[in-house]
Amino acid sequence: MKHTVVLIPGDGIGPEVTAAARQVLDASGVKIDWLERHAGVAALEHGSDSLLPASTTDAILEHKLAMKGPCTTPIAGGFSSVNVALRKQLKLYGAIRPIRNIDGITTRYSDVDCVIVRENTEGLYSGIENVITEGVVTSLKVATERACRRIATFAFEYARERGRKKVTAFHKANIMKLSDGLFIRCAREVHENYSEIEYDEVIIDAGCMKVVSDPTQFDIILCENLYGDLMSDLCAGLVGGLGVTPGANIGESAAVFEAVHGTAPDIAGRGIANPLAMIMSSVMMLNHIATTRNDASAKAAAERIKVAYNQAILAGEKTGDLGGHLNTQQFADAIIRRL
């Protein structure tokens, strides 16, 4: 079975890490036709007057799958976030960010294996801001019952499908009684249909302390948009940083897979960027293909790639940010040899 995947190289280190991930996928034997499109600063450099051209979003909606490198949104200049725009336009309401220890990457924590599930479309990231008077600005936090219930169902379905045991909702309903209150009310009501899965709630500030004290007490962490963004980076720090943290954005009509890290312009073009998070995100994409399109070959390829990068890292074949000596291409080659 062959699949068309929209490839968005991005900018900064994006083209380097997406090229490495593409090489690994091609070497795995899975059949993919790549359709390159652009977003972010790269779109402007290719002649678009938009950070998110219609040709890019139309291609993703047509083919349902995209692998995306990090994209820069210019500061000032009237541009809104390309990542926020992509998630809104494609209705990618559910973000999944797995956090786990990898043997061969030393951190102060062990046995970390949790998943951040983040609502992707509203909250403070709705971008509704107003100048009330000189020196006074308001930012509106949006919460709808539809979105809250949808992301809660998404989290519990993910737990059921993956054999996860517990969902913990992080919130600030003690202060934001209506918006966060709606979020946890919906989570409680959805939980009634998943009685085999444990459910609890933690106030976000106390939750941050609990996570850094003992992250192994968490399984799936369910968050609204802003909290999910913060928790993703905090939890990445437990297992080695953003270079080992993959991500997926799932909607009803499309799915986009991307590393959590940014464009790292200070090392762009030097060939030393760590492509692991992008490769891990591509494994998530293959698992998604296997589930949604009943393609056993994609599932097998995903497992081979995962075994290969785990073996490479355990053998000390790592990029410099992880304490190794390999550059981007050498790390990709180390994985491909093991395939």
Number of H helices and number of E strands within the chain?
Answer: 11, 12
- DSSP helix/strand/coil, 30: coil
Candidates 26, 103, 200, 205; catalytic one: 205
The answer to whether 282 and 257 have CB atoms below 8 angstroms apart is: yes
91 CB-contact burial (10 Å; exposed 0-12 / middle 13-18 / buried 19+) = middle
Q: Has 229 been annotated as catalytic? A: yes
Torsion, CA 318, CA 324, CA 328, CA 333, rounded to 10: -50
Q: Has 125 been annotated as catalytic? A: yes
Candidates 11, 229, 295, 333; catalytic one: 229
Candidates 68, 88, 125, 295; catalytic one: 125
Q: Has 26 been annotated as catalytic? A: no
Buried b (16+ CB within 10 A) or exposed e, 288-303: bbbeeeebeebbebbe
CB atoms within 10 A of CB 285: 27
Candidates 93, 172, 199, 309; catalytic one: 172
Q: Has 306 been annotated as catalytic? A: no
Residue closest to 287 by CA, chosen among 151, 161, 197: 161
Please give the positions annotated as active site: 125, 172, 205, 229
